[in-house]
Structure 1
């Protein structure tokens, strides 16, 4: 990975396998464009990518208002999004492929914009109902129960340090329990479920390796940052492509193919996309590509 910086020490160029990424900024130092190009060979395509994108595997453009709020994002894979805010900077609306709208009470608590007339009380400034979600809390404000629609229930238990100790999730009648362990610094070191255990290794506050069932994944980060740079899995290196706040949007392999991609709602709910390498045909002599572990989502 080679990196070039401008006179203000901002990253303007990065190589990631056969891809080369360029970054442009406005006079305020805000990212306005991220373009990753492949000089040769055919890139893997995510469903929904424009066919006329030329050699650009990925491209995103950002627009900002005078207050520093993101107001537009034009994404080669995901289309165009626009964002609208109230005078205090709270987001009111996101338009695009997955439009969303929001409302707030006088204390700044999030309300369901459709059911706002019902007036669900936000006792102790804790949200009780939002869209199809219902929440219960303990006396310390930890969520103890989260219901989504009629077919999903999450029950959460917390230890004396208010760290998640156990989660029991029931979806469509199928229940799975997961238990969590931490070190003296509050970092999660292990989670256990009915299928095995995942262990986490740390370098300070950065999770650098996860191990599960004799398989490991190594994670590298941008300097002095929590933004992931690359992951090494199955003896292969995969490169992260993140948005303006460091949320992973895509992973590409050494040949520049997109092997993982996700869409996010405003508050961070992720939907993993199907990529051009999913389920690709293999011969009897070539094993199917292993699944890629990508645990990072919206970190903000």
Structure 2
């Protein structure tokens, strides 16, 4: 049995990945941007069942404008004239970001409520709390911990700033995922 199989196009982009019963196909536009990612169950069978279907639309400046997700609906993205994201909206939420004149991200929260125009500079542009998740960083600005209601994730990095381990804790269960790299730096 094949555990995982990859197919690449002439530009060496991944166009198909098979993992057990799941088969994911990726489609790109003329400029190489991902436009669709379709994951189906049972592709080797007669009639595959769509598991997740995602479509992406971009601006002329390569900014992601819209994401259509078969389970999460449509998400729209908005940017300022310098290309910084200013808002993200879908059926479940509206997030917005503001920046000061030096392009520092502003913290728009006062306690747990957002107030337009209010906020102070986010230290080192490192968000420490967002949508119920809490983040910790190391001296290099890398995320080393992410905590939320579903558990905690700890991240380890090597001297070349490559992710080497993720430890996921849920209740009393800890799962560890390790990553190794070859000489050219491929995972």
**Taking structure 1 as the reference length, what is the TM-score of the superposition?**
0.41
Give distance in 1, aligned partners of 2:96 and 2:116: 12
Equivalence for 1:5: 8
Give distance in 2, aligned partners of 1:64 and 1:31: 9
Larger Cα Rg: Structure 1 or Structure 2? 1
Give distance in 2, aligned partners of 1:66 and 1:10: 22
Equivalence for 1:21: 24
Seen in structure 2, the aligned counterparts of structure 1 residues 206 and 10 have a Cα distance that, compared at 3 Å, is same
Correspondent of 1:104 among 83, 96, 99: 99
Seen in structure 2, the aligned counterparts of structure 1 residues 207 and 61 have a Cα distance that, compared at 3 Å, is same
How many Å apart are 1:39 and its aligned residue?
2.1
Correspondent of 1:71 among 65, 70, 75: 65
Aligned: 1:58 with 2:52: yes
Seen in structure 2, the aligned counterparts of structure 1 residues 110 and 211 have a Cα distance that, compared at 3 Å, is closer
- How many residue pairs get aligned? The number is 156
How many Å apart are 1:89 and its aligned residue?
0.3
Give distance in 2, aligned partners of 1:106 and 1:94: 21
Instruction: State the Cα RMSD in Å.
Output: 4.4
Structure 1: unaligned runs, 5 residues or longer:
41-53, 128-136, 170-179, 188-203, 227-300
Helix, strand or coil for the counterpart of 1:2?
strand
Equivalence for 1:92: 86
Pairing of 1:280-291 with structure 2 (within 5 A): none
Pairing of 1:170-209 with structure 2 (within 5 A): 205-208=162-165
How many Å apart are 1:109 and its aligned residue?
2.3
Q: 1:82-112: per-residue Cα shift (whole Å, max 9, x none)?
A: 1111110011221102111222221112332
- Asked whether the equivalents of residues 34 and 56 of structure 2 are also in contact (C-alpha less than 8 Å), the reply is yes
Give distance in 2, aligned partners of 1:91 and 1:219: 32
Structure number with higher strand proportion: 2
Seen in structure 2, the aligned counterparts of structure 1 residues 84 and 14 have a Cα distance that, compared at 3 Å, is same
- Asked whether the equivalents of residues 164 and 180 of structure 2 are also in contact (C-alpha less than 8 Å), the reply is no
Equivalence for 1:43: none
Equivalence for 1:255: none
- Which segments of structure 1 move beyond 4 Å, counting only runs of 4 or more? 161-164, 208-216, 219-226
**Taking structure 2 as the reference length, what is the TM-score of the superposition?**
0.62
Question: Which fold has the larger relative contact order, with Cα–Cα distance below 8 Å and residues 6 or more apart in sequence?
Answer: 1
